[in-house]
Amino acid sequence: MYTFSSKLKNVAIILMVLGLLGIGYGFFSAPKNTEDVEKILAADAHGEHHAAPAAHGEAKHEAAPAHAEEKHAVEAVKDSATVVAHGLDSVATHLEEAHLAEAAKPVAHDTHTKDAHAEAAHGDAHADEHKEHVEHVLHQLQNKPWAALYVGALFVFLIALGVLAFYAIQWASQAGWSPVLFRVMEAITAYLVPGGIILFVLLVLSCLHFNHLFVWMDPEVVAKDHLIQGKSGYLNVPFFLIRAVVFLGGWILYRTYTRKNSIALDETNDLSYYKKNFKASAGFLAFFLVSESMMSWDWIMSVDPHWFSTLFGWYVFASFVVSAITVIALVALYLKSKGYLEFVNNSHIHDLAKYMFGFSVFWTYLWFSQFMLIWYANIPEEVTYFKFRIEHYNLPFFGMVVMNFVFPILILINTDFKRVPWIIWMAGIIILSGHYLDFHNMIFPATVGDQWFIGAAELGSVAFFAGLFIYVVFSALTKAPLLAKGNPLIEESKHFHY
């Protein structure tokens, strides 16, 4: 039996406390009204009067080096991008023209005022434009702490969900190597219950208009937006919440059922439990395939209700399943280093590392397939999604490709390296950070726009959920022996050698 070391428990609690402070700071420092935004904008504008127009062009290009289209060059002159850091959770405030992606958004904000314009023309029309712009920035900044919280909750929850899917695959395929890791996987999936509840509460709060993460939930927006009206048969609040309940319920039900059978299998050695789990896993995988796909439309793609992509569900799946396998490997390595998993040898770690490698490449394949098809055809209604990301999220957007593809493929391609714990740790941390960035890039552009920053609120959110994850997972590990000895494949798994 595993005992939760007080040291690790303290780490988890400290992470949660620091995380809560970060989240709280995020909400506290978000502007309350348009006057606050005016102050932020004024601070920016002040700096701008001293800067030559050419400098703006340069600043802009630093933010988006790869973006060198002529059109942009024209915009860049008009742009008045100034980056001002406001302490820890600083809002990298950009004062700039609305871009195509924003223009496509239902809230009318495509007529932002520029300071350059301000000097050229003063008038009533200009005052209205300015007001609209300030309101737009206010909404983005008010969304920021919510988006930070949502991304953290979603990412950590989906890791547990990915482990559940991987666990089901191991049962359904009767894998001979993995049963020694079943208890680790079961413990990780224990996070599904608290994580799912938190996520559901966040979704309900969105539905109750505590935030504007999902723009289609706003009746005022829908009234003016024909595209969203056309989708309201699917994107409406009651149906959205019912779907969320069905998905979460199905996943948690399968998790509870297989865990119960797995423990019973240990105690009774009755193989009927094994068969039950086999059948349940096969059924769950069919349910998972459908529910995961719809979950990704609901919880992620619908923040951009004007945009759609057919392979999005697979893309999201690839992103969280590779993180999930990484987490299994890291938890197994940690437990082994503490002497708890004497039956796990480096061949098991090698297998997990191969999965990390393989799914990293799979993720890249889907990322590139989605990006390249849209880039190639360049249809305006689709391409705004990537145009906005490349312009305003250049470093995170391409940085995550390096972290999730280039780094794993160069490190984990070597057979010997896949058996070295510190290399797995290093690769695992890079992969997890890279996939956090991936989720950040999915949610933030549509909710926060160019006001994004990875500061106290974002890191706090990750720290809080990571702490909660560690607390729940390692508590669950203490509740059952670490070896699922009733499993008929356990002997094979103990002697697994590659």
Partner 1 sequence: MSNKVIHALYNDDDVLMDAVKQTRLAHHHIEEVYTPFPVHGLDKAMGLAPTRIAICSFLFGLTGLAFATWLMNNIMIQDWPQDIGGKPSFSYIQNMPAFVPIMFEETVFFAAHLMVITFYMRSKLWPFKEAENPDVRTTDDHFLMEVAVNNNESELTSFLQSTGAVEVKVVEKH
Residues engaged in binding partner 1 (CB under 8 A)? 66, 68-69, 368, 371-372, 375-376, 378, 413, 415
Q: One-letter amino acid identity for 248? A: L
Contact (Cβ atoms closer than 8 angstroms) between residue 457 and residue 25: yes
Here the tokens at position 184 are: 């680790």
Concatenated DSSP letters for 264-294? HHHHH--HHHHHHHHHHHHHHHHHHHHHHHH
Distance of closest approach, residue 125 Cβ to partner 1, in angstroms: 35
Distance of closest approach, residue 390 Cβ to partner 1, in angstroms: 12
Name the 3-class secondary structure at 95. Answer: strand
Distance of closest approach, residue 60 Cβ to partner 1, in angstroms: 18
Distance of closest approach, residue 379 Cβ to partner 1, in angstroms: 12
Measured from the CB atom, is 65 or 230 closer to partner 1?
Answer: 65
Distance of closest approach, residue 135 Cβ to partner 1, in angstroms: 36
Distance of closest approach, residue 371 Cβ to partner 1, in angstroms: 7
Between vectors from CA 248 to CA 169 and to CA 317, what angle results, nearest 5°?
A: 45
Measured from the CB atom, is 367 or 471 closer to partner 1?
Answer: 367
Measured from the CB atom, is 173 or 415 closer to partner 1?
Answer: 415
Distance of closest approach, residue 314 Cβ to partner 1, in angstroms: 19
Helix axes 124-172 and 182-189, enclosed angle (nearest 10): 150
Measured from the CB atom, is 74 or 286 closer to partner 1?
Answer: 74
Contact (Cβ atoms closer than 8 angstroms) between residue 16 and residue 468: yes
Measured from the CB atom, is 289 or 409 closer to partner 1?
Answer: 409
Distance of closest approach, residue 445 Cβ to partner 1, in angstroms: 20
Measured from the CB atom, is 251 or 371 closer to partner 1?
Answer: 371
Measured from the CB atom, is 319 or 364 closer to partner 1?
Answer: 364
> Any bridge partners for residue 80, and if so which?
95
Name the 3-class secondary structure at 80. Answer: strand
d(CA 385, CA 338) in angstroms, rounded, equals 46
Distance of closest approach, residue 368 Cβ to partner 1, in angstroms: 7
Measured from the CB atom, is 210 or 368 closer to partner 1?
Answer: 368
Distance of closest approach, residue 413 Cβ to partner 1, in angstroms: 7
Distance of closest approach, residue 57 Cβ to partner 1, in angstroms: 18
Here the tokens at position 364 are: 């890249």
Contact (Cβ atoms closer than 8 angstroms) between residue 236 and residue 277: no
Measured from the CB atom, is 66 or 208 closer to partner 1?
Answer: 66
Measured from the CB atom, is 271 or 413 closer to partner 1?
Answer: 413
d(CA 182, CA 481) in angstroms, rounded, equals 11
Report phi then psi at 95, rounded to 5.
-105, 100
Measured from the CB atom, is 371 or 496 closer to partner 1?
Answer: 371
Distance of closest approach, residue 196 Cβ to partner 1, in angstroms: 37
Measured from the CB atom, is 1 or 68 closer to partner 1?
Answer: 68
d(CA 460, CA 454) in angstroms, rounded, equals 10
Q: One-letter amino acid identity for 136? A: H
Concatenated DSSP letters for 430-455? HHHHHHHHHHHHHHHHHHTGGG---S
Q: One-letter amino acid identity for 271? A: L
d(CA 482, CA 339) in angstroms, rounded, equals 11
DSSP code of residue 469: H
Q: Give whole-number Cα distances, 83 to 47, 55, 202, 441, 447, in Å.
A: 9, 12, 31, 20, 19
Distance of closest approach, residue 102 Cβ to partner 1, in angstroms: 23
Measured from the CB atom, is 282 or 410 closer to partner 1?
Answer: 410
d(CA 413, CA 360) in angstroms, rounded, equals 11
Here the tokens at position 110 are: 């495509």
d(CA 192, CA 315) in angstroms, rounded, equals 21
Q: Kindly report the length of the chain.
A: 498
CA–chain centroid gap for 415, Å, is 30
Contact (Cβ atoms closer than 8 angstroms) between residue 488 and residue 48: no
